[in-house]
Amino acid sequence: MSTMARVLSGVGALACIFVFAGGSAYASHVTCGQTISQDTVLDSDLVDCPGDGLVIGAANITLDLGRHTIDGRGGSSGVSNDGSHDGITIENGRIKQFEFAVDMYEANDVTVTGMVFTDIYSHAVLFVRGNNCALRNSISRNGTGLVNPLESTNCIIERNASFNTGENRAESIFLFKTRNATVRWNFVSGAYRGIHVGSAQANVIKHNLLWGNVRGVDVFDSTDTQILWNAATNSKESGIHIWNDGVLGTEIFGTRIIGNIVRSNGDDGIHVDDADTFIARNWANKNADLGIQAVPGVTDGGGNHARNNGNPAQCTNVAC
């Protein structure tokens, strides 16, 4: 099965995961702005919350939305953490019309799973300075982004679907100063940057399907990024773009681009501006300019293929 087929198969399972996610038999009635200090299952929707929808007030608890909705007025957070509480799970429901759907600050071991996010005005899920965060099996339909694990470590972002629309679309998955994250089996469409990696270290981007974004994968000022077996197609600009903006005072090195399919993008399939990059076994076809445009000095691992691209050279500084 191809990379694209495998990713689509995983994304197609998201609806089933959401519909059949289980919950506790014991439901609780809560109101907008209430602080949750024990395992809780919602028994009804929360509608038109003027501030935060719910606030996490203790460690090691699960908030199960019970397939209900937390609805706001465009500000605050659907679920926030008031004291860096660790060991939090948020699952099985919908959050809409907030600045952030889930906002976790300096909290470790946080999992968000089986959720739907709509009409969120910033990134749906924000992890700040946390360890061992996870976003799984969730769907986002917003004008902006899906998840930002800011200055966080050991995060897993997997089997999510993100559909970005509107004038304010941004990075759907943004790893900024993030370390040791794994981003895999996600579908991202309509974002400015589908997956954006900035000033980050040792992150793995693999088996994702990125379709119809401005850029598919965009990496700047980051070290030891692995971009493996993704499909980046129909981007307005490049499918995969590696660059250094020269502003943040960091150098980019150790990038590995292996086994990706980059097809029908509006500029290059793969565009690499950093020489300390390893490029191997990629398929770059039918892009508007070059299949692979790389600066001199990159390491050509072999096995790259480029056909029917707009530039007759097909590739620069690697063999295709």
In total, the chain counts a number of residues equal to 320
Cα–Cα dist 271/251, whole Å? 17
Give the contacts of 250 (CB within 8 A, at least 6 positions apart): 199, 221, 222, 223
Quote the pLDDT of residue 190. Answer: 93
Residue pair 145/174 in contact by the 8 Å Cβ criterion: yes
Distances (CA, A) of 198 to 31, 32, 243: 39, 36, 10
Tokens of 233: 């197609």
Q: What is the dihedral of CA 251, 185, 290, 235, to 10 degrees?
A: -100
Q: Which residues of the chain have pLDDT under 50?
A: 3-4, 6-8, 11-25, 249
Quote the pLDDT of residue 270. Answer: 98
250: amino acid identity, one letter:
T
Quote the pLDDT of residue 170. Answer: 79
Quote the pLDDT of residue 251. Answer: 62
Question: Could you report the per-residue pLDDT of 90-113, keeping only the tens digit for each?
Answer: 999 999 999 999 999 999 999 999
Tokens of 109: 């071991």
Which H helix or E strand runs over 8?
A: helix 3-12
Residue 23: CA count within 13 A, CB half-sphere: 24
Question: Could you report the per-residue pLDDT of 174-192, keeping only the tens digit for each?
Answer: 999 999 999 999 999 999 9
| Count of structural domains within the chain | 1
Cα–Cα dist 320/77, whole Å? 49
Q: Which CATH number covers residue 161?
A: 2.160.20.10
Cα–Cα dist 135/133, whole Å? 7
Give the contacts of 197 (CB within 8 A, at least 6 positions apart): 175, 178, 203, 205, 217, 218, 219, 220, 222, 225
Domain that holds residue 159: 3-316
Cα–Cα dist 137/10, whole Å? 9
Q: What is the dihedral of CA 157, 162, 165, 169, to 10 degrees?
A: 10
Residue pair 109/88 in contact by the 8 Å Cβ criterion: yes
For residue 57, the tally of other CB atoms under 10 A from its CB is 15
Question: Could you report the per-residue pLDDT of 284-310, keeping only the tens digit for each?
Answer: 999 999 999 999 999 999 999 999 999
User: Would you call 124 exposed, middle or buried from its count of C-beta atoms within 10 A (0-12, 13-18, 19+)?
Assistant: buried
